């Protein structure tokens, strides 16, 4: 019975940890400018949803 438990514990740990694999995924198309950074989707100042997008350094953003 003790050998069964000795084999069961490492097997159980291996099965539980196998679901923790992180896969790298691209966040979107390449940046349209040098030094651009990815902005995750967020709610704007007036409650409007903005999907994820690239922000270029030095770009002026106009709010209508």
pLDDT digits (tens, 9 = 90+) for 12-63: 777 766 666 566 665 667 777 888 888 888 998 899 999 888 888 876 666 6
> Taking the model in full, what pTM does it have?
0.41
Identify whether 44 is part of a domain: yes
Structurally, how many domains does the chain consist of?
Answer: 1
Q: What are phi and psi of 57, to 5 degrees?
A: -65, 135
Identify whether 8 is part of a domain: yes
Q: What is the domain extent for residue 23? A: 2-55
pLDDT for 43 equals 93
Identify whether 60 is part of a domain: no
Identify whether 63 is part of a domain: no
Identify whether 46 is part of a domain: yes
Identify whether 23 is part of a domain: yes
> What is the spatial distance between Cα 11 and Cα 4, in angstroms, rounded to a whole number?
11
DSSP letter (8 states) at residue 61 = P
């Amino acid at each position: 019975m003790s050998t069964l438990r000795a084999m069961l514990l490492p097997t159980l740990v291996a099965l539980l940890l196998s679901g923790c694999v992180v896969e790298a995924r691209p966040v979107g198309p390449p940046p349209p400018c040098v030094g651009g950074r990815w902005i995750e989707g967020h709610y704007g100042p007036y409650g409007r949803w903005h999907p994820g997008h690239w922000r270029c350094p030095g770009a002026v953003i106009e709010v209508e």
